[in-house]
Amino acid sequence: MHDWMLDFAEYVRELLPEELAEPFIALARPAIRLSTAEVGQTIVGRLGGLPRLPEGMPWPRTGNSPMEFLAELDCAALAAYESDIDLPPEGALLFFAAWDSTAARVILLPTGTRRVPEREVPVGEETRLYPETRLAAETVATWPTRGHDVLVKLGDDFWDRLVGEEPWEVFGDLLSDFEDAEGGRAHQVGGYSDALHTPIEATAAYAAGPAPEDPGFATEASQWVNLLQLDEDNGMIFGDGGILIGIRRDRLAARDFSQVLPDVQGH
């Protein structure tokens, strides 16, 4: 068993009978959790600051407004960590989003691209800028959230199954406690998105058009992955929840980041 699975699997087996624990553990996917880097940790990217774009590349826009710069990730540094998505092995990924998160742009810059040290917001225009925070990484286990299609076979009452002596000790709540103790999933690459409402795969399938009862809905959903999830941090506000940026598997494999899907998760 992979190292990232060990604590998660042990915890689930303590709470659930084998016939429920093993199918749930089998659904786990690795993700790269991002957190503020401490002294001595490997830097894999950054939140905020000013983007370092190639000379001559205009600041990304939506309509007439410049987008907000969210993050930059070092693909070569991330390659040292396991995830369930096919990230580029090198280069840098830059993430931008509209102020209301209704649009996003992801730019892949190949290794060796000559970049302007810091690109200022276009003269005479405004966009929110965030403090620069360096990021470290680790591989963690992620699991489907309540309502995810892959949990249907485990039963509607799976999350509310009593696993302790008190009536509030139900599986879903204790799994949330485990997640919090492990550091949470505030920022991550790959894995199951930590959706407050709808997983990014289902959001993408809804956007594509088929109804949930249509077989094409599940087919379309299976083609999407969680490229980046950011929580509200570093002054960023996404509707008191977070932002998910999804991409189709085939576009990710082709290194085509021209069509990504942002989705704000808030209350």
What domains does the chain contain, in order, with CATH numbers?
Answer: 3-111+122-265 (2.30.320.10)
Check if the beta carbon of residue 203 is closer than 8 Å to that of residue 227: no
pLDDT recorded at residue 106: 98
Cα angle: 199, vertex 246, 145; to 5 degrees: 20
Give the tens place of pLDDT for each residue, 5-34: 899 999 999 999 998 899 999 999 999 999
Higher pLDDT, 221 or 249: 249
In Å, how far from its chain's centre is CA 190? 6
Mean pLDDT for the stretch of residues 111-134:
86
Handedness of CA 84, 86, 89, 93 (dihedral sign): negative
Single pTM value for the model: 0.91
Q: Do the Cβ atoms of 31 and 143 come closer than 8 Å?
A: no
The larger pLDDT score, comparing residue 267 to residue 48, is at 48
Bridge-based pairing of strands 61-62 and 29-36 is unpaired
pLDDT tens digits, residue range 143-188?
A: 887 767 777 677 767 888 888 777 778 888 888 888 877 766 679 9
Is the C-alpha dihedral spanning 255, 90, 95, 116 positive or negative? negative
